[in-house]
Homo-oligomer: A and B are copies of this chain.
Amino acid sequence: MPQDYRVPHLTTALTGPLLELEEHLLNHSHAIEAWFRQEFRDTPAPFYASVDLRNAGYKLAPVDTNLFPAGFNNLHPDLRPLAVQAAQHAITQACPVTDGVLIIPENHTRNSFYLENLYTLKEIIESAGYEVRIGSINPEITEAQIIDLPSANRLVLEPLARESNRVGVAGFFPCAVLLNNDLSAGRPAILEGIEQVLMPPLDLGWSSRYKTHHFQHYATVAKRLAELVDIDPWLITPESVQCGEVDFKNPASLERLATKVNEVLAKTGDYYHEHDIDCKPFVIVKSDSGTYGMAIMSVQSADDILKLNRKQRNKMSFAKEGLAVDKMLVQEGVYTFETVDNAVAEPVVYMIHNHVIGGFYRIHTGKTATDNLNSPGMHFEPMSFQQSGVLPDQSQGPDAEPNRFYAYGVIARLALLAAAYEIKYSKTAKPD
């Protein structure tokens, strides 16, 4: 690669180890790219995704894969052309003849962060050469609503309508429909059985999807990548155990959860001990479906579970939009050792189609390395990646920024591939 970098680049948050893993990925980048290309040819990627990573230095792993990403407005504008190009190809693949895309957003009409994201997403798809309109399933939207954004841009939300087997807004019922609503509130009847191409499919909404399935697929593809690059799959895989239904108000149910927590702690502790990793194992307990970090906690022992107070138990019983939590996922906690200005930082990587199109650091000054950073009331400071994460620079060391971002892009795409398998099997399970 040319050495002629004329612009200054941000340094990555972490300047510590992860060397061995990054070096492996760098040395095998051509093989990795060929493998991804072939995998996504057989198992097409979802339209988009964002993946939260944790970088412990000795381990780099995904902890959350969002198939309805918001936050596109946090990506660095210099990388926008990558998103535009990828969107054109994703839409062409899904629906070659369409000239329009209908976006179905979340129901937040007063969250200006979300609406700025929606505006950016609309702009990306318009720049790719499509007409875009926004059809809301929010029952409060009964006529076209014009929203002036803090960025001085303007967004129009229209009520979603159904005409026989198609959904749309007044006079606009295109072949391609893009969901930017994670369906935490359930599968909307208006979207059932439509003949248009829904991206991603209804089955991938949180009302139907389980994180444990995602991490099962992830473990499978991570194992195959690990074989390809000759590393221990543990280095890129978070131990994830489905706990089944947990009733936080029932002591017997909590006992069962505590047992699972102990299992994961013990397994992680054994690995740490065997490999001289001087860290205390911890575990993340979170809802197996849903997002937004409502029902999530970080625990270092089974006692943390058994000694939950009433308030904590209540918190764990309700996830986003008031859904009762049913199943829980017990996941190995991965430390995040990246910091920016002494604050803990977690990389978030964005993808459209099978391409990394940018990312940012979620930074929180009040949190520690074991905390979940996507927690309620969190005011993160997005720090855009200046580079795309697409290309390693073989002429620099593994810790150089393009190389660290390359490693992030590899692990994020591995989670994307796991999501592609989720779609594949959801379709196989329910052919229609």
CB < 8 Å neighbour of A128 from B33, B73, B387: B33
**Which residues of chain A from 54 to 77 have a CB within 8 Å of any chain B CB?**
73, 76-77
**Which residues of chain A from 1 to 20 have a CB within 8 Å of any chain B CB?**
1-8, 10
Q: Is the CB–CB distance between B390 and A81 below 8 Å? A: yes
Interface window among A34-42, A136-144, A424-432: A34-42
Q: In whole angstroms, how far apart are the Cα atoms of A383 and B393 in the complex?
A: 21
Q: Is the CB–CB distance between A127 and B76 below 8 Å? A: no
- 1/0 per position for A70-95, CB-CB distance to B under 8 A? 00010011111110111011001000
Q: Does A130 contact B (CB under 8 A)?
A: yes
CB < 8 Å neighbour of A82 from B38, B85, B386: B85
Q: Does A197 contact B (CB under 8 A)?
A: no
CB < 8 Å neighbour of A99 from B1, B36, B38, B151: B38
* CB closest residue in chain B, given A132: B30
A123 CB contacts on chain B under 8 angstroms: 1
Q: Does A209 contact B (CB under 8 A)?
A: no
Q: Does A251 contact B (CB under 8 A)?
A: no
Q: Is the CB–CB distance between B33 and A129 below 8 Å? A: yes
A92 CB contacts on chain B under 8 angstroms: 41
CB < 8 Å neighbour of A80 from B1, B96, B99, B126: B1
* CB closest residue in chain B, given A152: B395
Q: How many whole Å from A31's CB to the nearest CB in chain B?
A: 9
- Which of A6, A36, A99, A386 gathers the greatest number of chain B CB atoms within 10 Å? A6
Q: In whole angstroms, how far apart are the Cα atoms of A306 and B202 in the complex?
A: 74
* CB closest residue in chain B, given A77: B2
Q: How many residues of A sit at the interface, in one of the four size bands? A: 35 or more
**Which residues of chain A from 345 to 372 have a CB within 8 Å of any chain B CB?**
355
* CB closest residue in chain B, given A72: B2
Q: Does A391 contact B (CB under 8 A)?
A: yes
Instruction: With A1-B77, A34-B99, A82-B85 as known contacts, state yes or no: A127 contacts B390, CB within 8 Å.
Output: yes
Q: Does A120 contact B (CB under 8 A)?
A: yes
A128 CB contacts on chain B under 8 angstroms: 33, 37
A247 CB contacts on chain B under 8 angstroms: none
Q: Does A263 contact B (CB under 8 A)?
A: no
* CB closest residue in chain B, given A383: B6
Q: In whole angstroms, how far apart are the Cα atoms of A123 and B391 in the complex?
A: 10
Instruction: With A96-B41, A120-B2, A123-B1 as known contacts, state yes or no: A78 contacts B387, CB within 8 Å.
Output: yes
* CB closest residue in chain B, given A99: B34
Q: Is the CB–CB distance between B88 and A391 below 8 Å? A: no
Q: How many whole Å from A205's CB to the nearest CB in chain B?
A: 28
Q: Does A374 contact B (CB under 8 A)?
A: no
Q: Is the CB–CB distance between B37 and A129 below 8 Å? A: yes
**Which residues of chain A from 163 to 218 have a CB within 8 Å of any chain B CB?**
none
A6 CB contacts on chain B under 8 angstroms: 10, 76, 384, 386
Q: In whole angstroms, how far apart are the Cα atoms of A92 and B41 in the complex?
A: 9
A81 CB contacts on chain B under 8 angstroms: 79, 82, 388, 390-391
* CB closest residue in chain B, given A10: B6
A127 CB contacts on chain B under 8 angstroms: 29-30, 33, 390-391
Q: In whole angstroms, how far apart are the Cα atoms of A151 and B29 in the complex?
A: 20
Q: Is the CB–CB distance between A85 and B390 below 8 Å? A: yes
Q: How many whole Å from A341's CB to the nearest CB in chain B?
A: 15
Q: Is the CB–CB distance between B86 and A34 below 8 Å? A: no
A99 CB contacts on chain B under 8 angstroms: 34, 38
Instruction: With A7-B7, A99-B38 as known contacts, state yes or no: A82 contacts B80, CB within 8 Å.
Output: no
Q: In whole angstroms, how far apart are the Cα atoms of A7 and B384 in the complex?
A: 12
8 closest A-B pairs (Cβ-Cβ)?
A37-B129, A81-B390, A33-B129, A81-B388, A34-B129, A7-B7, A2-B77, A30-B126
Given contacts A1-B77, A82-B85, A85-B390, 7 further A-B contacts (CB under 8 A): A2-B120, A6-B76, A7-B7, A7-B386, A80-B391, A81-B82, A82-B82
